[in-house]
Amino acid sequence: MTRDTAGDRSVTGPDAGGWHDPAVTGLPAATGGTSPRRSRLSELTDEELVQRAQSGNSRAFETLLRRHERAMFGTSLRLLGRPSDAEDAVQEAFIAAWRRLPEFRGDARFSTWLYRIITNRSLNELRRRKPAASLDDDDGPVPVALVQTGGPARQAEQSAMLTALQSALADLPESLRVCWLLREMDRRSYDEIADIVGIPEPTVRGRIARARTRLAEVMAPWR
């Protein structure tokens, strides 16, 4: 890292000479060179956007949200089943992320941090529901009819298979379900899941393996 400040600290003001050119009177033009520009917000990395947002730049934070909203919504939707609940959870989580952004130190990826907040918010919502609430509660899981493809027989098979899986997921202990979903649906690494859930990586592997075994038992009739 180069700290290039020494020259400035001896300068007491623009008119004291040195780096300020008094001939420049208008707003500065882009005179920095010929390389491709990569400073538009959408081109910045999460890390760069986080640092800007931590400086109070709300547009940088908005760019982060738009980048991750689909993934976070999917995660919440798979835990909660109802799109409206998932949206509420994601909204609460994003606001919480803004409030807690000054505490974010960048030791893990921003997305990992978001996954953790989203997962916790979604689980809290599940716990607020009636004790028997699950992915197949009164309002049902994600409406399969909205996205079915193929002919009637194929649709019926898809619908039944999906219902069976969702029911099996609902019967899993929460800790197994979360690890399995993060691995198989969100494609998170074992290491990242350990970070999100806050448990050792070997425990993550064990939970996913156990979840897989239990789910496979339920899905055996669909072989």
Partner 1 sequence: MAVADQPDSIGRGAGPAPSTPVDATPAPVDPDPATAAALARASDELGRVTDRDPSAGLVPAVMHSVWAELRPGQLLTLPGSAGRLLVGSAAVATAITARLDELADVVVRRCTVETRAPGPDEAGPEAVPLRVELTAAVAYGTDTHELSGVVRTTVVDTVRELFGLPVDQVDLVVEDVFVAEAGR
Query: 3-class SS at 198?
Result: coil
Examine residue 42 and tell whether it contacts partner 1 (CB under 8 A): no
Examine residue 153 and tell whether it contacts partner 1 (CB under 8 A): no
Tokens representing residue 172 in the block? 């899993």
Which lies closer to partner 1 via its Cβ, residue 78 or residue 188? 78
Examine residue 56 and tell whether it contacts partner 1 (CB under 8 A): yes
For residues 110 and 45, the answer to whether their CB atoms sit within 8 Å is no
For residues 64 and 50, the answer to whether their CB atoms sit within 8 Å is yes
Examine residue 142 and tell whether it contacts partner 1 (CB under 8 A): yes
C-beta contacts of 162-167 below 8 A and 24+ residues apart = 163/136, 164/218, 164/219, 164/221, 164/222, 165/215, 165/218, 165/219, 166/81, 166/135, 166/136, 166/141, 167/135, 167/136, 167/218
Figure out which of the listed residues 82, 85, 94, 125 binds partner 1, where binding follows CB under 8 A: 94
- Contacts (CB under 8 A) with partner 1, residues 95-124: 95-96, 98-100, 102-103, 105, 107-108, 112-113, 116-117, 119-120, 123-124
Figure out which of the listed residues 153, 154, 162, 190 binds partner 1, where binding follows CB under 8 A: 162
Examine residue 154 and tell whether it contacts partner 1 (CB under 8 A): no
Least Å distance, CB 90 to partner 1, is 6
Which lies closer to partner 1 via its Cβ, residue 139 or residue 217? 217
Figure out which of the listed residues 85, 111, 176, 188 binds partner 1, where binding follows CB under 8 A: 176
**Taking the C-alpha atoms of 91, 95, 98 and 104 in order, what is their torsion angle to the nearest 10 degrees?**
-80
Least Å distance, CB 189 to partner 1, is 15
Residues 29, 105: Cα–Cα separation, whole Å: 34
Q: What is the size of the binding site for partner 1 (CB under 8 A)?
A: 119
Residues 211, 222: Cα–Cα separation, whole Å: 17
Residues 218, 203: Cα–Cα separation, whole Å: 23
Examine residue 150 and tell whether it contacts partner 1 (CB under 8 A): no
Figure out which of the listed residues 46, 69, 136, 201 binds partner 1, where binding follows CB under 8 A: 69
- Contacts (CB under 8 A) with partner 1, residues 6-35: 8-9, 11-14, 16, 19-21, 24-35
